Structure 1
C-alpha cells in the first residue's frame, strides 16, 4: 500500500514537472509571430508606445489583446491599451462681419427705400434681373420715411452657417423680436428664423441676439432683418450681422495600410474577394479606380469565417473624375463597427462593365498605443501576433497616478528600435487560402499532449490503487 502511494505521488510530481515548463512558456516572447526591440527614453518608468502600421498588421485578435512588452528577463510587464483618438485641434473659423443697409418705408406711399438716400429698384432686362441702388439728384429732398428693417448682402458667402448674431441696439427693459428672411430676387422672401432678445434697463444683454441655423448656406441670397414697427424709429439700430460658420469636423488620424491583392483575386470583373492577414479592425476602406473617367457603384460584403455566408455591409459609389482640370475621387467607405472581419468581397453593379483593372485598396486603421511600466531591466521587446493570447490589459487609470483624461498623451514615448519584420504593404490572401499555423501551433499541441499524458498517468495510478484496495487483506502488497 505504501509502495503504491509512493508511485502515485511520484507520478503526480512528474506530470506537474513536465507540465510546468510548457505552462511557463505559454507567454514567452517566442510564442508571438513578430518581435521588435524597443528604445525607451532615459530614466522613464511609465512609457507610452504608439503602434505603427507594421505592428497593427501583425495582430491576430480583433481586440488587440495579442500584444506584450517583455523585459530583459523575458517577463511581461504591466501594460494598458489606449484606443482613444489623439486630440486633434481644428481652429474655429472667424466670424464674418457684414454691414447692414437700413430699409426705410415712405410714411405716405409705403415705398421701400434704402438708407443714406439710396432708392432700391429692381429692373428686368435682356441680361436678367438687376438690382440697382439709385441716389436722388443733389438738392432733392428725401421723403419722410420710417425705419422698418435692414438688408444684408450675403450673396458671396459660401460657408455653411451655424448661427447669425445681430450687432444691434433695441428698446431696453422689454423683450424685442427680430425676424430673418432670405431672398434671391428681393421680391419673394422665405423665413430663415427669429429671435427674441432682451436688454436690461442699464443696457446689458442677458444673451446675444442670435439665430441658430443648421448648416444653411446664404450664397446667392440677400438677408433681411425686420422687427416690430410699433417701436420708435430711432429706438432700433442694426449696425450689421456676424455670420458664424460651421466649425470643421476634426477627422481622427488614421493609419493607412495599402493592400496588395493576390494574383487571380480579380479574375471576375464584377467581384473581388480577399482575406486580410491581420485581425485589426478596419475603420474605413479606400477604393481607388484607375483612369481619369471611371464610376462604379459597388457593394461591400464580409464575413469572419469561411464557413459563414457573406454579410452585406454597405453600398458605395466609387469614382475618379476630372472636371475643369481638377481630380475628384470618392471618399473612403466608413465601416464603423463592421470592420472586424477577415474575409471581404467587393461587388460591382451588374449593369456596369465592372472593374476593368483591379482597384487599389487601402485599409485605414484606427490609432492605438500601449502604456506600460518599464519594470525589470532592459532590453525591452514588443511582441505581437498570437491568435490564442489571453487578455492581460490593465485599466488605464490604474497605471497613471492621478489619472485624468488625456494624461497618457503627456507620457514619454518609446519607439521601435529595429527594422520591423512586417512589410509595409501586407498582401491580402485569397479567401480559399488557409494559412499554416506555424511553430506556435506545434507548441500548443505539445502542451496539450503533456497535459493529456499527465491525466492518463494519474488515471492509471488511480485504477491500480482501486484494484489493490479491492483485493483480500492477505493478497495486498505492502
Structure 2
C-alpha cells in the first residue's frame, strides 16, 4: 500500500473517531452536573427574558465571570443566553412650576419690542414691579403682553401652559423672547393659544412648546395687542436629567470567620470584583478609623484596599451614617478590617459585612417547555454565552428594558443550601455510562484500524 492510501485510511479513521466523540461533547451540559439550581418565574412578553442575578447566585457560582451559568428547560436542554453588566443611566424628570406674571403696558403706537420697559428686582432675583416707559400718558397705554418670572427654575424650559379669563375667545398669537438680565432678549419663536366654544362644547389650546433652554425671564408680546387676554395662570414645565448609578447586587449580612482584638476577617466562596462593602454599625455615636485589606486566597499577602472613616453620629438633629467603603473592582476572596481602637472600636458585637458588585443581567432565549431553571456551580464548565447582539438580532440598548423578566423563585437572603436543586437518586447513570461506552468503543476502533493499516503497509527491503 502506498503512502497516499495509508494517509487516506488514517483520515477516515480519525473522522469516524471524531463523529463518535461528538455526541459526548455535545451532551456534557446536563442539569445534574451543576451544584446549585434555582427555578425561574417568567413575566412579560418573550421569547427573550432578562434576569438580574442576586448576589446569592454570584456566590453560588464557581467562577466570577459566571462561565458556569446555564439555563435549562423542562426537557433539560440548555438555552442560548448572554451576560451584560448593569450601567449608569439617565433619567428625565419633568417638573411643573407655577410662575408669577406681570402686565407689559405701553403706548398704542410703540414698537412691539417694548424695549423701554423698566423692571425692578429684589436681592433674590424675584420680580416685584413692572413700570411703563417714562413719558407715556396712562390714557394712551394698552396691554401689550406679559412678563413671566422664571428665575426660580434652574433647568431647561420645555413647555409653557397659560390660562386666561373666559370672556376672551378665539386664537391669540404672540412672540416669545427669553432673557437672563432683562436687557438682552433672544427670540424663542411664536406661540398660539386658543379657546373656542360651540353649544355646550369647548375646545382649548393652552400649551406652547419651548426650545428646552434655560432662561430667567420670558416675555410674551401679543401680535394683536387689542386682543391680548387677561392671564389667570402661567405654568412652566422644566426638565432635569439625573444620572442613576449602575445597579448593584448586595449580599446578605455575613458574620466574620475570624475575630481578634480590633481585627475581623471574612471569607467568600470565590474571588469577586467587589465595588463596595457595608460594615454594620449597630451602636449610635460610633466613630471608627479603619483599614481594609484583601487577598485572593490565604497563600498571598494582604493588600491594603482602603483607609476610611466609619461613623454613626448625630448632626443637625439627624443621624449621619457612613458605613460604606468604595473599592476599585479588584478580585478578592478574603477581607480583613483593622479598626483603630483610639476611636472606641465598633462595640462588643462583631460587625456584619455586606459585599456589593455591579449587577449582572442574564438574557436568555426561551425554547422548549417551561419551567426554566438557572443552574450554577460546575467546576468543569466552559463559557458558552453569546454576545447580546447575536442573541437578539437587530439589538439596540433601548430594547433591553422591553424584554420579559425572569426572577429567581427564592428570596435573595435565602442561604445557598436552600438554592440547591434536588439531589439525583442514587444508582448508575445509564445515560452517561452509555456515552462513555460509545467513547471507548470509538477509541478501540481507531486503534484497531491503525494497527490494520500498519500491518498492510509494505515492509522495507
Correspondence for 1:302 among 278, 294, 309: 294
- State the 1:256 CA deviation: 2.8
Q: Is the 8 A contact 1:36 1:383 kept in 2?
A: yes
Deviation per CA, 1:14-64: give whole Å up to 9, x if none: 998997776455321122121122333588322222323432331222222
Name the counterpart of 1:57: 59
Name the CA distance, whole Å, in 1 between partners of 2:120 and 2:44: 72
Correspondence for 1:255 among 249, 257, 263: 249
Name the counterpart of 2:334: 343
Correspondence for 2:264 among 267, 272, 282: 272
Closer/same/farther in 2, CA of residues 281 and 33 from structure 1, 3 Å limit: farther
Deviation per CA, 1:175-210: give whole Å up to 9, x if none: xxxxxxxxxxxxxxxxxxxxxxx858x99xx99798
Closer/same/farther in 2, CA of residues 413 and 208 from structure 1, 3 Å limit: closer
Alignment pair present for 1:395 and 2:387: yes
Name the CA distance, whole Å, in 1 between partners of 2:320 and 2:416: 27
Q: Is the 8 A contact 1:269 1:355 kept in 2?
A: no
- State the 1:344 CA deviation: 1.2
Closer/same/farther in 2, CA of residues 370 and 273 from structure 1, 3 Å limit: same
Structure 2 gap segments, 5+ residues each: 2-9, 102-118, 124-150, 157-177, 191-210, 217-235, 418-422
Alignment of 1:316-327 (within 5 A): 316-323=308-315, 325-327=317-319
Name the counterpart of 1:424: 414
Q: Is the 8 A contact 2:31 2:375 kept in 1?
A: yes
Q: Is the 8 A contact 1:260 1:426 kept in 2?
A: no
- State the 1:342 CA deviation: 1.1
- State the 1:460 CA deviation: 9.2
Name the counterpart of 1:37: 39
- Partner-residue secondary structure (3-state), 1:285: strand
Name the CA distance, whole Å, in 2 between partners of 1:280 and 1:14: 43
- Partner-residue secondary structure (3-state), 2:279: strand
Name the CA distance, whole Å, in 1 between partners of 2:53 and 2:303: 30
Alignment pair present for 1:67 and 2:90: no
Bigger proportion of residues as strand: 2
Name the CA distance, whole Å, in 2 between partners of 1:405 and 1:453: 48
- State the 1:257 CA deviation: 1.6
- State the 1:408 CA deviation: 1.5
Alignment pair present for 1:48 and 2:50: yes
- Partner-residue secondary structure (3-state), 1:82: strand
Name the counterpart of 1:358: 350
Name the CA distance, whole Å, in 2 between partners of 1:43 and 1:97: 44
Q: Is the 8 A contact 1:31 1:386 kept in 2?
A: yes
Deviation per CA, 1:303-326: give whole Å up to 9, x if none: 223222222222111111134552
Q: Is the 8 A contact 1:287 1:359 kept in 2?
A: yes
Q: Is the 8 A contact 2:288 2:340 kept in 1?
A: yes
Name the counterpart of 2:130: none
- State the 1:166 CA deviation: 5.7
Name the CA distance, whole Å, in 1 between partners of 2:283 and 2:98: 41
User: TM-score, length-normalised on structure 2?
Assistant: 0.56
Q: Is the 8 A contact 1:57 1:277 kept in 2?
A: yes
- State the 1:276 CA deviation: 1.0
Please give the root-mean-square deviation of Cα atoms over the aligned residues, in Å: 5.4
Closer/same/farther in 2, CA of residues 169 and 359 from structure 1, 3 Å limit: same
Q: Is the 8 A contact 1:253 1:366 kept in 2?
A: yes
Structure 1 runs (4+) greater than 4 angstroms displaced = 11-25, 92-99, 115-118, 206-211, 244-249, 350-353, 452-473
Aligned pairs, how many? 335
Name the CA distance, whole Å, in 1 between partners of 2:306 and 2:452: 65
Closer/same/farther in 2, CA of residues 367 and 98 from structure 1, 3 Å limit: farther
Structure 1 gap segments, 5+ residues each: 2-7, 100-114, 121-153, 172-197, 212-241, 428-437, 474-478
Closer/same/farther in 2, CA of residues 247 and 46 from structure 1, 3 Å limit: closer
Name the CA distance, whole Å, in 2 between partners of 1:299 and 1:360: 16
